[in-house]
Structure 1
């Protein structure tokens, strides 16, 4: 039988009993402190597991933020543009899937509510087209969005309440368990004290029963769930209970008795604590210590070390240790989730900002720090066409490539969506940052092989360097974003370093964006109309609506200046809605005057994402009461390059409404005869680039142009479409077009863009048979 450390008593006198009682009391106090600490850790652990409640609460907060942004955008408050509304919408959508991915998603409430969460997410995704279409004051679209938001708010609030109810129930169970732990502890203390009293009684009756009392006390000590070791004044072990042996990975107490702590594999810190207590006679406060076992396993212990006195003599040092490794591991997991992206396990925006703030304090002209903002190009197209699983795989593959290109001291973070950022510290000059950014451009431009698809994505990168470009987190991210915007505006797939000129250009762009929003509200946008004439009869056949902007300070602003800004900011949708409304109202006004003048309006490829183009036209026709026969929609070939199937479906729907469809700038873009097999166009417009050489003396350069124009006309007529020649400026050009059989023409020769009143005079003059512009 293994030899145990013995608690020896010399004689049966009351002095020995008093010394024993004092030792036991100190032992009880030490064990009590450790158990109380375990109880506190139990409560902390119970309180730390709130990931699902945190996710649901965050989703509810983001829903309310989105609702507030929706209200402000609807009221047209300054600063609450569609970009900010879409940003709040994307953040809200990112919160809902987290409810099903929470660590405790196996709880009853989340299991029962998985269909509700999926329904909420589907409902929010269905209103994306309305959000993209929404403009300030649009009551109907706002009401549809607000109704869905209200229903999701009700469901999410109920889910949040259910989670809180379940959490309260779990906390109550934890409290009951904690109280039970306290009861067990008190019962243990009572039992221990009763054993001590019994032992004292036995000692009083005779020393012959001391051994039995010692065994009883030893059983109680071994039953305690904390490691206990007692040391003599020389720092050698005289007692170690079962829990202590388990912590030390020893099979029996004989291997520990008479040895120092370091001799059984403990750290030198244990002996240092014992020496401090022996030297001062004062107990050390409870503290957390990290221990590495000989096998490499790491433990986290809550330890307390206290002296034991016999009278005034310090005779023992007791050390109590409680293993809290699992609790600390759970704390670290929760902290990691709060600071890292769930898909890529990269630091998120929160941790990125904390790290950047710390490094900016050490940046200097001879030790620079670079911040690179990275956007994956064409990521949305991959998500939309191949699905989110392939999109996630693309994000993971791009993350692996970027990590491989970085130094150990660099930090890569995912800020959201396809947006990443890198902190590159310890640079000697800006050229090192540029070299790194170009290396990332190169590695991210290589093809990806994912789930059977070969994909090309690439990236755009904007870089800012501290301290030259900023000394705060906000300034560095802002200026790196400005450079990123410049990289994307320049055609994507490139890296751009921030300059002050970029900031000024962006400021002017933002000013134009704000002016353009005011122009919508103040009615500064208006239409002019360029007439189209039949080449054979010279009769007015319709007109094209052209947008103009009369700025109060800048005067007449060219569409080539403000239309790109409108497309980038999403203002192109409300602007196009305004153009369609004005064009339809003017066409109906002419009809009331007895004039039939169809109006053509150009729609860009961007209008047909998520069926916006169709909805814009349907809304204009419904609100103005316009006859669809008076409206002609012009589209370009780029529409079929971006979304061929959606384009086909939408154009067929427009033709079903009775709206005429014209193919603009045919032959100048990504021409393909494939879509002409599946789509019928009423009009094909011959671009002015094919008109310029017509009418000039035949040369080697002009003959191919005439042949192309002739071929396009033959093709169009073979498909049953009319041909309209754009940019006709000379009589010679008009004569050649007449010879080639072109149907209609427009250009400065026939009529410049003019106000509606002027075009009314032209139409009225032709109707009366006088003053018409003959092109026959």
Structure 2
């Protein structure tokens, strides 16, 4: 002992350094082991929470629903017509790619089923013509379809069982690992506490040796990223670091020494943990705690409390460690909020709406009803087209505020997309309660709006369905509320309509549109308007987009939003596309004969590529018209990849092989993925108008457009900005290096002769056109 004392007195610097090194190594080792084990536990828990099980279950349910729909259609049951059978078939097809692409499906047993799922999808697509052409009583095609469905049912059942077994094994592994993780945390916490004890001992010894050594050790303690406090056997503070002082909102350590946590406003929870450690002589496991301040603010802490023992087993101190995780928890809540809410109105989106409606249906008391109101703003598209999207956004916000004010505390208002809203009205005693709210909303939304100097009258149409009378599932209620909404619109808009079974007859209206559309094709009532695309650097026209128009002798101009969905559902989209391609190619060659080379872009439906008919339609149009492929551009949206990415890839390569340019439309919305950009060399990427709207502000929209431009140029593609409506947007696009632009600022859709005149006599700069 005398020798040790002499050694300490002769070489205090080396001893201090050794102890500091030991404390630091112990701290780093404890933290490292804890983080490593925590990451392993997270990996195991992630493996036990497989989204693929949900996908496989959904696929199996949709397969069984399709078989039931097939049987009921063949029997001719009321309400089970061809449209409903095709709807079940399309839903089934949409579930299979989700199952095949689940990210967590990385284990061997799931990979072994990947080829089976792809084969099942291919088999279902092969019988698609049979499904489309099927009629009640067709025995042979029905047998082929049912054979594929029966085999698919068996395969999906086996896959589901395999996934459940796999998840059960993963859960067992995660539970075992959790027990080990708890032990590791205890050991690591002990390491942290031991490191803290070493630091405390160094501080005490350094205080007797030198002021400089004390300052060094103090800096080390205060540099710790967590709040550390030590308490004596009476629960009084004997040491705190700077981080703990910050959490306690104290300026100096002297304000805390000798006092209890409750005297500093920390509440009773801290003292209860300290008393528990003193009583049981064991550590309190890490847990979340809320630290509230007198000004009403609060912080979220991850805290742990543990005893410090002497060599003889006596309890010397209690150490409490607190890590501030307020920002992390706030970020978690924000991410969840963004995933479940609309970015413009901050209303719940379709995902949260469906989840809430499902829970309300489960909790509905006997004799009580749940109402679902589907709401569409009337004339919203006209507002967007005539006054621009900023005014349209303001209209959506104003309408949302009016609807919020009319609802009860327990009601939910959601934005499903575009100008579509929905309301859940639970716990109703009478049907009239739902009718009163719908009429109230109609009246409120029909009042004039004063927005940015304009007085607008938009109005709204509302369709209402009631549970349990009209269904007890989310899908059934939304579908029947949509039917009632369609009836409200058809009756002149600005109306509230409650669903009734007779409204199923509204489906006949869609069939009428189908028949009118067939006649329109034969009478050549469809025409094209052309919206020019301008080179941003000098304002010259370098192409245009062909936009479909239908002028009906009695109905007047029919919106594409009304007849295109009908065309896609009935298969008329193929002859319509054939006619559009023919008109666009002939017009491009007419302009060339006039000395103008103006390439024409034509939008092709995702259905063309799912059935691999797009290439054939383009080939036939080029052959029939003699059009130069360089004068044709095909625009597709990201939806083409949902049904069959491989078929779309083959089609795009074939089109580019012919010399036809391929453009990706509305990039940045929907199911955007950088994966397919890597494998599909698009010639053009069109930036969606939603990003252009906020371009003049130095915010996320501008940074996103800048990133898209850089990405596209890096891939060798041109960038076209859609929806340019202000000179400021155009100037910003020029600064960002965007290649082309189209929008109302530069040119609205116009007849071929007007576009030829503009192309032949372009202004020197785009600003000149906007000023004119």
Q: Which of the two has higher C-alpha Rg?
A: 1
TM-score clears 0.5: no
TM-score range, shorter chain: 0.3 to 0.5
TM-score, structure 1 normalization: 0.44
Which structure is richer in relative contact order (CA contacts within 8 A, separation 6 or more)? 1
